Amino acid sequence: MSNRPIYLDAHATTPVDPMVLEAMLPYFTQHFGNAASKTHQYGWEAEAAVKQARECLAAAIHAEPEEIVFTSGATEANNLAIKGVAESYFTKGRHIITVATEHNAVLDPCGYLRSLGFELTILPVQPDGLISLDDLEKAIRPDTILVSVMAANNEIGVLQPIAEIGQICRSHGVIFHTDAAQAIGKIPLDVQAMQIDLMSLTAHKIYGPKGIGALYVRRRDPRVNLAAQLHGGGHERGMRSGTLYTPQIVGFAKAVEMGLEEMKDEANRLRGLRDHLLRQLQTVGGIHLNGHPTQRLPGNLNICVEGVDGQALLLGLQPAVAVSSGSACSSAKVAPSHVLKALGRSDELAYASLRFGLGRYTTGKEIDRAADVAIATIQALRQGKS
């Protein structure tokens, strides 16, 4: 393992924690029943495991178990939330508000709805990545049915003022959805205090398995109605048909449970490592921090580097350090990050960006080594060396 790159791409995905895997394994072979099979022990065992996991996830965000709808991940949860609201409330209005720095799993469904005749307002962000609450309030119209603002940005780690956004939406009677894929298990989330109506979650950003996520759907004060996007069996209270993937669900809950237990201490540890990495990188000059300096995920560091070619920078870090230049979903694209462009970065700087995602297994020695490699690469590129 020592010859493998230092992994600093935890916003793309994380390894399954051994304790999470241990919790999952019996449900592949021993307790393999279908949770919808109500007539025998195998089904009862699976149903009990799903119920317990649902209770765990609900408690983590201060919701009710019945308000948790399991999905294949945050992308499906976002689609269910956005399209589901659009179909259910189109007689009330056809105006949706979102933000320029959202993940494509939000922007693309919103764009699809616009092609069907819905009106879309995309709010800009300030240079630090935060939205203006005044801009949001001014954008809300009598026909606005949904506001979608992510809790923690997947590229720059910025934490939006979710509670304040929730209060504005509630005061105007508008449904509030937040993509919390990067936030769950890393920062406190409370759907009651933050007045969140819909929240998308996923497991693989917090040492759980890929292929499982959830959508919180408020049942009261106000009750949110969603039109199903998958039909065939009426699972998950009719909102998401399909046989429940019990091992993944068990793993999801275990990952969230572990994340909550260590959240405070881990946040402090990651924040210290991240700030140390930034200080080291800044010694070469021409380093621009992307996003708010403190109102961001503890393990996120996103920078632009002056005077280097972006592709050469990424290649120069290989094979010593595994990082990305933005969202894993769009890392193969040639276009500069839409998030960094929204911050006002030039194309040149946006291309020359690095996203460091520190995680549970990141050590101080790895940070020092990564800093050394990055500094040497930057200096070599600026001097015109290969």
Model confidence at 180, pLDDT cuts 50, 70, 90, reads very high
Is the pLDDT confidence value at 374 over 80?
yes
Question: In this predicted model, what pLDDT tens digit does every residue of 234-270 receive, in sequence order?
Answer: 899 889 999 999 999 999 999 999 999 999 999 999 9
Residue 133 located in a structural domain: yes
- How far apart, in Å, are the Cα atoms of 278 and each of 267, 304, 369? 16, 12, 13
188 in the same domain as 176: yes
Last residue of a domain, one of 257, 285, 309: 257
Q: What is the mean pLDDT of residues 33-59?
A: 96
Last residue of a domain, one of 190, 223, 257: 257
Model confidence at 3, pLDDT cuts 50, 70, 90, reads confident
375 in the same domain as 273: yes
Q: What is the separation, in whole angstroms, between the first and last Cα of the chain?
A: 27
Q: 321: which strand partners?
A: 6
The whole-chain average pLDDT of the chain stands at 95
Please enumerate in sequence order all residues whose Cβ is within 8 A of that of 161, keeping only pairs 6 or more positions apart, or say none. 130, 131, 133
242 in the same domain as 309: no
Question: In this predicted model, what pLDDT tens digit does every residue of 79-101 receive, in sequence order?
Answer: 999 999 999 999 999 999 999 99
Q: What is the mean pLDDT of residues 295-319?
A: 95
Is the pLDDT confidence value at 326 over 80?
no
66 in the same domain as 45: yes
Per-residue confidence (pLDDT) for residue 193, from 0 to 100: 98
Is the pLDDT confidence value at 157 over 50?
yes
CATH number of the domain residue 323 falls in: 3.90.1150.10
Residue 1 located in a structural domain: no
* Continuous segment of H or E residues that includes residue 166: helix 162-172
Question: In this predicted model, what pLDDT tens digit does every residue of 203-225 receive, in sequence order?
Answer: 999 999 999 999 999 999 999 99
Q: Tell me the two tokens of residue 177.
A: 């959805």
305 in the same domain as 225: no
* Nearest to 288, CA basis, from 335, 330, 344, 329: 344
Domains contained in the chain, number: 2
Distance, CA of 319 to CA of 298 (rounded, Å): 25
331 in the same domain as 190: no
For the whole model, what pTM was predicted?
0.96
Model confidence at 335, pLDDT cuts 50, 70, 90, reads confident
* Continuous segment of H or E residues that includes residue 357: strand 353-357
222 in the same domain as 89: yes
87 in the same domain as 136: yes
Residue 123 located in a structural domain: yes
Is the pLDDT confidence value at 320 over 60?
yes
Domain that holds residue 77: 18-257
272 in the same domain as 367: yes
Distance, CA of 139 to CA of 8 (rounded, Å): 38
196 in the same domain as 137: yes
Question: In this predicted model, what pLDDT tens digit does every residue of 183-196 receive, in sequence order?
Answer: 999 999 999 999 99
Last residue of a domain, one of 213, 234, 257: 257
Please enumerate in sequence order all residues whose Cβ is within 8 A of that of 361, keeping only pairs 6 or more positions apart, or say none. 7, 15
Is the pLDDT confidence value at 346 over 90?
yes
311 in the same domain as 233: no
The answer to whether 212 and 251 have CB atoms below 8 angstroms apart is yes
Give Cα 216 to chain centroid, integer Å. 14
Q: Tell me the two tokens of residue 278.
A: 């930034």
273 in the same domain as 236: no
Sign of CA pseudo-dihedral 27, 33, 36, 39: negative
The answer to whether 174 and 180 have CB atoms below 8 angstroms apart is no
Kind of pairing between the strands at 198-202 and 175-179: parallel
CATH number of the domain residue 235 falls in: 3.40.640.10
Phi/psi at 105 (5° precision): -70, -10
Q: Which long-range contacts (CB under 8 A, 24 or more apart) does 52-58 make?
A: 52/253, 53/249, 53/250, 53/252, 53/253, 54/249, 54/253, 56/253, 56/256, 56/257, 57/201, 57/214, 57/252, 57/253, 57/256
Residue 158 located in a structural domain: yes
Per-residue confidence (pLDDT) for residue 384, from 0 to 100: 85
Active site residue 304: no
Model confidence at 385, pLDDT cuts 50, 70, 90, reads low
